[in-house]
A and B are shown apart, each in its own frame.
Chain A
Amino acid sequence: EDVKLVLWSLDRDIQPAPNLIKEFNAQNNGIQIEYRQLQFDDVVSEAMRAYSTGKAPDIIAIDNPNHAMFASRKAFLDLTDMIQQSKVIKPENYFPGPLKSATWDNKYYGVPKATNTIALYYNKDLFKAAGLDPEKPPQTWTDLVATAKKLTNPSKNIYGITFSAKANEEGTFQFLPWAQMGGATYKSINSEGAVNALTVWKQMLDEKLASPDTLTRSQWDSTATFNAGNAAMAISGPWEIDRMLSDAKFQWGTALLPVPGEGAQRSSAMGDFNWAIFSSTKHPKEAFKALEFFASKDATMYKNFGQLPARSDLPVPPTGNALKDSALATFVEQLKYAQPRGPSPEWPKISKAIQDAIQAALTGQMAPKAALDQAAAKIKSIDG
């Protein structure tokens, strides 16, 4: 009788989980995995509901900022020992950012599944049209603002830049790198660097270098305006590459996120999911075996599914498309500076405080400093 495992993730048919499971099941090694696809918004609540009614799956793919919430409550299985003995999963092979997101209290409660981050896309044709050097994307914040100003052309419906400051996790995801480059962390969100970062954002909106709809538009929709030629630069992640290749009718390039000033420390947000095993599983060993199998496939992750493995030991293989390869190179470089959000079990609330501050400042209802002060106070009370 085969051991039956249940695995939940939000991967669709062209994404890793269902395909890896197919392969895994085909091995016939006495373990069969059953797959259920979830929606992004539902992963946590479904998992919670299932866990509290004793119907949790064995394995789940969880968004990295939410990992700590489960780990801190011991809802996930502590994998430290198993990882130590594993021949496949070795902590030192992973980028530190992703690994940190799966860590709580110095123990490993999961394994990074894939990773991503954000960088700058820019429209080379528009650069040329504005008399800018298409091979010299902006390097610093001032540079960025100045470039955006030059690119902005209301008569042609072109904004200098597009990004997302939406009142949800995406807003935090986009803003946090800026704050971190300014030397802040979520615990010191009102430090000067963060205030500067927010001030720059505010400037871009106030001067209409970015569309006012930045406040309510997701990253995906924002970048669509870039693809449609209505924004000259976009800040977004590698998930855009394929769509851009097909939709963008112009030359484009990528660059690392600009920094506050020449030579300042780089930083970046870190996205994507981690694998975790629920502590309620009846088959921890078998479940870990599955994780090992998935990790063993990290090398083909990019080739097969277009996702970046969270591994520093694996090179991203060339795809044959020069544009794509160069974009990927940018993201792999950017990943080196990627930091997890949190980790904190209260991350959603912390994130909400940050979003509120961003929105309050960008709509002009509070000064950036005051808004971030308020957020800091809130985060303090949440984080204890």
Chain B
Amino acid sequence: MKRVFSSVTDGRGFDLVLVGVPFTFLLALAGLPLLYNILMSFQEVDMFSLASVIRPFVGFKNYVDLFTEPETISILKNTVIFVVGSIAGQFLVGFSLALFFWINFPGASWLRGLFLVSWVMPGLVVGAIWNWILSGDFGVLNFLLQQTGLVNGNIFWRSDPNFSLWAVILANIWLGTSFNMILLATGLAAIPADLYEAAEMDGANAWQRFWTITLPMMRSTIGAIIALGLIFTLQQFDLFAAITDGGPNNSSNVAQYWAWDLSFRQYDFGKGATISVIMTVFVMFAATVYVRSTRHEVRG
């Protein structure tokens, strides 16, 4: 007993307790639901059997059915575009802002705080406002574009199949900016100043310092942000519901919205779960990349 106690205060036991408890918690509350979902994708599920684990087993039928639907491929393609476009946009905008506010000028830290807005606003409100901003007839985006003479007819961001997905991406970039910005700002703050001094002595200009010091030193932060950004983007569906409803004609439909639509509008839980499993595989790939990237992190 004493040995166990002393291991907990001083040795490996401390580490084991620190990871053990949360992992047990997560296994129960997040791991089991994940398994439940995977299981459902191989079963036929209806309202009566939601609560039971034993349900008619259908093998890969849900998967096969899904891939015979004509829209599947285009939806998966949309998903990739959505994820890549959103993450790239959020990251670039967020990083630019973080760098900008990293410059020390009076008011910088206050103004930086305002960029948290997109994280606080309720999804319902955000959706409604973007719905309005992106409206074809009276939206402010068209209004501004026309006032500045950039376009001369209204662009129907939401209803033109060529634009609808990008409209949601635009809104999602706005939404993700705060998260990226504030975390990248924290990461920047943690880089020791003397590295920049050394780099400056070595003749590196601001641009070179950014590429050779800032970026590699922030590797662990950037890795975490992109990994999490990916997951958030893959869960985003408020915006789809508010702005395009996946339309027109599925041109802005993505896997997560489709999964939600199948599960909660068409009550086809099996297929909904199947899509989420496909997405899980996608994330698994990304998670592996992230975990591998942590090998090159710099320990302080």
Please report A residues at the B interface, Cβ cutoff 8 Å.
41, 44-45, 48-49, 51-54, 69-70, 73, 75, 157, 159, 166-169, 211-217, 221, 225, 228, 230, 348-349, 352, 356, 359-360, 362-363, 365
Given the complex of chains A and B, what is the CA–CA distance between A53 and B49 in angstroms? 9
Are A365 and B249 in contact, with the CB atoms below 8 A? yes
**How many residue pairs bridge A and B at CB < 8 Å?**
102
Among candidates B50, B243, B265, residue contacting A352 with C-beta atoms closer than 8 Å? B265
Among candidates A45, A169, A215, A225, residue contacting B264 with C-beta atoms closer than 8 Å? A45
Are A167 and B137 in contact, with the CB atoms below 8 A? no
Given the complex of chains A and B, what is the CA–CA distance between A356 and B253 in angstroms? 12
Are B136 and A212 in contact, with the CB atoms below 8 A? yes
Query: Separation in Å of the A232 CB from the closest CB of chain B?
Result: 14
Are B49 and A52 in contact, with the CB atoms below 8 A? yes
Among candidates A73, A166, A225, A363, residue contacting B245 with C-beta atoms closer than 8 Å? A166
Instruction: Identify 6 residue pairs between A and B in the complex whose beta-carbon atoms are under 8 Å apart, listed by A's number.
Output: A52-B51, A53-B50, A54-B51, A167-B247, A211-B136, A213-B156
Q: Does B62 contact A (CB under 8 A)?
A: no
Query: Separation in Å of the A42 CB from the closest CB of chain B?
Result: 8
Are A213 and B137 in contact, with the CB atoms below 8 A? yes
Which chain B residues lie closer than 8 Å to A360 at the CB level? Answer: 249
Given the complex of chains A and B, what is the CA–CA distance between A348 and B49 in angstroms? 19
B235-269 near A? 1/0 per residue, CB < 8 Å: 00000000111111111000000000101111110
Given the complex of chains A and B, what is the CA–CA distance between A211 and B246 in angstroms? 18
Given the complex of chains A and B, what is the CA–CA distance between A352 and B159 in angstroms? 18
Query: Separation in Å of the A198 CB from the closest CB of chain B?
Result: 13
| Nearest residue, chain A, Cβ from B249 | A359
Given the complex of chains A and B, what is the CA–CA distance between A152 and B125 in angstroms? 31
Q: Interface extent on B, as a size class?
A: 20 to 34
Which chain A residues lie closer than 8 Å to B49 at the CB level? Answer: 52
Given the complex of chains A and B, what is the CA–CA distance between A102 and B159 in angstroms? 36
Are A359 and B248 in contact, with the CB atoms below 8 A? yes
Please report B residues at the A interface, Cβ cutoff 8 Å.
46-52, 131, 135-138, 156, 158-161, 164, 243-251, 261, 263-268
| Nearest residue, chain B, Cβ from A352 | B266
**Also in contact, A359 and B50, with CB within 8 A (given A45-B267, A212-B136):** no
Query: Separation in Å of the B125 CB from the closest CB of chain A?
Result: 15
Query: Separation in Å of the B278 CB from the closest CB of chain A?
Result: 20
Which chain A residues lie closer than 8 Å to B51 at the CB level? Answer: 49, 52-54
Which chain A residues lie closer than 8 Å to B50 at the CB level? Answer: 48-49, 52-53
Given the complex of chains A and B, what is the CA–CA distance between A179 and B267 in angstroms? 25
**Also in contact, A356 and B249, with CB within 8 A (given A51-B47, A213-B158, A216-B159):** yes
Are B135 and A52 in contact, with the CB atoms below 8 A? no
Are B47 and A215 in contact, with the CB atoms below 8 A? no
Query: Separation in Å of the B180 CB from the closest CB of chain A?
Result: 28
Which chain B residues lie closer than 8 Å to A51 at the CB level? Answer: 47-48
Query: Separation in Å of the B75 CB from the closest CB of chain A?
Result: 12
Are B265 and A348 in contact, with the CB atoms below 8 A? yes
Are B47 and A73 in contact, with the CB atoms below 8 A? yes
Are B164 and A216 in contact, with the CB atoms below 8 A? yes
Given the complex of chains A and B, what is the CA–CA distance between A365 and B248 in angstroms? 10
**Also in contact, A69 and B267, with CB within 8 A (given A211-B136, A212-B156, A212-B160):** yes
Are A363 and B249 in contact, with the CB atoms below 8 A? yes
Which chain A residues lie closer than 8 Å to B159 at the CB level? Answer: 211-216
Are B247 and A211 in contact, with the CB atoms below 8 A? no
| Nearest residue, chain A, Cβ from B164 | A216
| Nearest residue, chain A, Cβ from B162 | A363
Which chain B residues lie closer than 8 Å to A356 at the CB level? Answer: 249-250
Query: Separation in Å of the B37 CB from the closest CB of chain A?
Result: 15
Are A362 and B137 in contact, with the CB atoms below 8 A? no
| Nearest residue, chain B, Cβ from A360 | B249
Additional A-B contacts beyond A212-B136, A213-B137, A359-B247 (4; CB < 8 A):
A73-B48, A75-B48, A216-B243, A359-B250
Are B47 and A157 in contact, with the CB atoms below 8 A? no
| Nearest residue, chain B, Cβ from A221 | B131
Which chain B residues lie closer than 8 Å to A228 at the CB level? Answer: 138
Are A211 and B137 in contact, with the CB atoms below 8 A? yes
**Also in contact, A230 and B248, with CB within 8 A (given A69-B267, A213-B156, A363-B161):** no
Query: Separation in Å of the B144 CB from the closest CB of chain A?
Result: 16
Among candidates A75, A159, A167, A365, residue contacting B47 with C-beta atoms closer than 8 Å? A75
Given the complex of chains A and B, what is the CA–CA distance between A212 and B51 in angstroms? 43
Are A52 and B268 in contact, with the CB atoms below 8 A? no
